[in-house]
Every structure is written in structure tokens, then in C-alpha cells.
Amino acid sequence: MTGPVGPRLVLVGPPGSGKSTVGRLLAERLGVEFRDTDADIVATAGKPIADIFVDEGEPHFRELEKQAVAAALAEHPGVLALGGGAVLAESTRALLKDRKVAYLEVALADAVRRVGLDAPRPLLAVNPRQQWRELMERRRPLYLEVAAAVISTEDRTPEQVAEAVLVSLELKEA
């Protein structure tokens, strides 16, 4: 942790990378709480993210996301998982500077297996495989910009990914 408040560690990555699953494991191992900014947005808006996209549009969702991330980064002392597109906001990337951020890298095939491309993912609704590739072309440099560690999830269980995060961010000795 870089200051008196804020998360011990932050997880970023695309949908299906395991941020929520790995985040819960990390929180348990570190003896802290887990928080997911997507869940915060759903609680605040009172409806699923897919409905926010349909009813109010992506710009409105992104504004809610910026607010949720800023609040969580200021308040939450545990493990924090950010929504896949949170890094698109320059203000969010600035808030992540000098924090323990792990980018969970996932291959398309693994993401498809984990969440399915028929899941309610608004940005993957039309031609999901092509949309995924385009989404990652845009976001990968941003994930890398904020990451203190890049953790491949390929051929790893969530427990193995959690262990790799702890070691890479020096929260546990190898």
C-alpha cells in the first residue's frame, strides 16, 4: 500500500480474466475485504450494467465507473477489482499511479471458456470475437501502463494466479 488509505492491491484486466475470482482469493489470503467496482456501479444504479448501457448509454456508464473507481481507491483498504474498461479514463489511470496494480492477462479462448461470449457484455454484443480483439488492441497498452505486475492466467488455476500476484507484487516471498 502506498499511503494510509486505499487498496492493498488492485486488479485490472479484460472480462473473463478472473479479477473477481482471483480478487476474492487474494483478499482471503491477505485477511482483507474484497471489493468490485462493477458491483458498486450496479448497487448505485439499481440495475445491471448491460441495462445501464442500453438505457443511458456508454458515456453515462463510464462516468459512473470513474466515480465508483475514485471512491473505492480512496476508501477501500483491501483488494479491489476494476471493471474491464475502467482504465480507459485518464483520471483513473492517474489515480492508479504508484499503486500495487496487477494486470491479469487472458487469451481470447480462455475468456470465451470462462464467461462465454453470449454473456450480457454490452461491448461484445455484435461479432464478439472481433469486438474482443478490437477491445484488447485499445485496452492492452492502458493495462500495461498502470500495471506494476503482469500475470498471465493461461494454464493456471485461480489459486495459482493469486499466488503469482502475491509474489510479483512482493506481498509474499517466493
> How far out from the chain centre does Cα 160 lie?
18
pLDDT value, residue 2: 40
Mean pLDDT of 35-58: 94
Residue 173 falls inside a structural domain: no
Residue 61 falls inside a structural domain: yes
pTM: 0.88
All residues at 6 or more sequence positions from 132 whose CB lies less than 8 Å from its CB, including other chains: 14, 108, 111, 117, 124
Residue 13 falls inside a structural domain: yes
pLDDT class of 131 with cuts at 50, 70, 90:
confident
pLDDT class of 6 with cuts at 50, 70, 90:
low
Angle between helices 49-56 and 58-75 (to 10 degrees): 140
Between the alpha carbon of residue 58 and those of residues 22, 62, 123, the distances in Å are 27, 6, 9
pLDDT per residue over 148-165, tens digit each? Answer: 999 999 989 999 999 999
pLDDT per residue over 62-120, tens digit each? Answer: 999 999 999 999 999 999 999 999 999 999 999 999 899 999 998 876 766 655 554 55
CATH of the domain at 136: 3.40.50.300
Domain carrying residue 74: 9-168
Residue 1 falls inside a structural domain: no
CB-side neighbour CA atoms (13 Å) of 73: 23
Tabulate helix, strand, coil % of the chain (nearest 5).
55, 10, 35
With beta carbons less than 8 A apart as the criterion, state whether 24 and 145 touch.
no
Percent of the chain surpassing pLDDT 70: 83
Residue 25 falls inside a structural domain: yes
Domain count, the chain: 1
> Taking 90 as the threshold, does the pLDDT of residue 123 lie above it?
no
Residue 145 falls inside a structural domain: yes
pLDDT value, residue 153: 94
> Taking 80 as the threshold, does the pLDDT of residue 7 lie above it?
no
User: 3-state DSSP call for residue 34?
Assistant: strand
Comparing CA positions, the residue from 149, 13, 8, 150 lying closest to residue 80 is 8
Residue 3 falls inside a structural domain: no
